[in-house]
Amino acid sequence: MPRLRIRPETWDLTYEIAISPSGFRLLDTPGKLCDVLLERLAAYGAASENFRLEDGDPGERALIIELDNSSVTVKVRGDRTEIHFNDCTLNEPPAKDFPLQIWQALEAALAGVQATSHTIQVEMEAKIEDGSYQEFLNRFAPKPDGLPLGTETAVVFYLPPDPKSGGKESSLVLNRTGDNDVPLQVSATLVYRKLDPVNAIEAAWDRLGGLLGALGIGMIEAQS
């Protein structure tokens, strides 16, 4: 069976690190945490005006850092930290050591902190090189004969734990975007028990590529 080819146009990535013990007290008096993060992120253009506090219930309060010269947003919450990379491309991936700087700042501000899980969510929009969206999906989820003409399908793969890689239950979704020019949305939620923050993005991207490869899908670079 011929290999399916997709051309990713943009992708967003969110890396969430769940922690123990919790650091809710850091958000009550965030000065130390801000100082450490400011020092760690200075090389990325971070300044005090990039920091703000978001109020709310304890689980939703956050220290938010939005960098002016990049598409990165960091949200430090009491029980987890989220790092959002927006509008990336295959040619311009996120800086791989950025999560390490965030993690080392947490270690400096919260004694004894440990990561209890790592969750990486990838949202990718891609062009299909050969055929339409439904022709692409017919390999995995063809339209049942009894449904009307024009019906489109999507598919979800629920992935079991992978003891070899330390992966926990994860998922991969192939869906439509509503954009005829870039019709395919690939959504992956990849969960790990243990993961080195400096290798997190690369590990997730390699795992996603491996999953797509197992489905007979190859990624090619977007045209400049």
The 10s digit of each residue's pLDDT in 59-82 is 889 999 998 766 889 999 999 999
Instruction: Establish if 93 belongs to a structural domain.
Output: yes
101 inside domain? yes
d(CA 151, CA 144): 9
pLDDT, averaged across the chain: 90
This prediction has a pTM of 0.91
Our count of domains for the chain comes to 1
How would residue 162 be classed by pLDDT, with cut points 50, 70 and 90? Answer: confident
The pLDDT of residue 24: 92
Rounded to the nearest angstrom, the gap between the alpha carbon of residue 13 and the centroid of all alpha carbons in its chain is 3
Question: Which residues does 216 contact at the CB level (< 8 Å), separation at least 6?
Answer: 1, 3, 4, 139
Domain assignment of residue 224, yes or no: no
| Amino acid making up residue 32 | K
CA angle, corner 60, sides to 190 and 39, nearest 5?
Answer: 80
Q: Is residue 75 part of a domain?
A: yes
Residues of the domain holding 187: 4-219
Residue 187 has pLDDT above 80, yes or no: yes
Summarize the confidence of residues 27-33 as an average pLDDT.
91
Distance, first Cα to last Cα, the chain: 30
Nearest to 215 by CA among 164, 141, 150, 147: 141
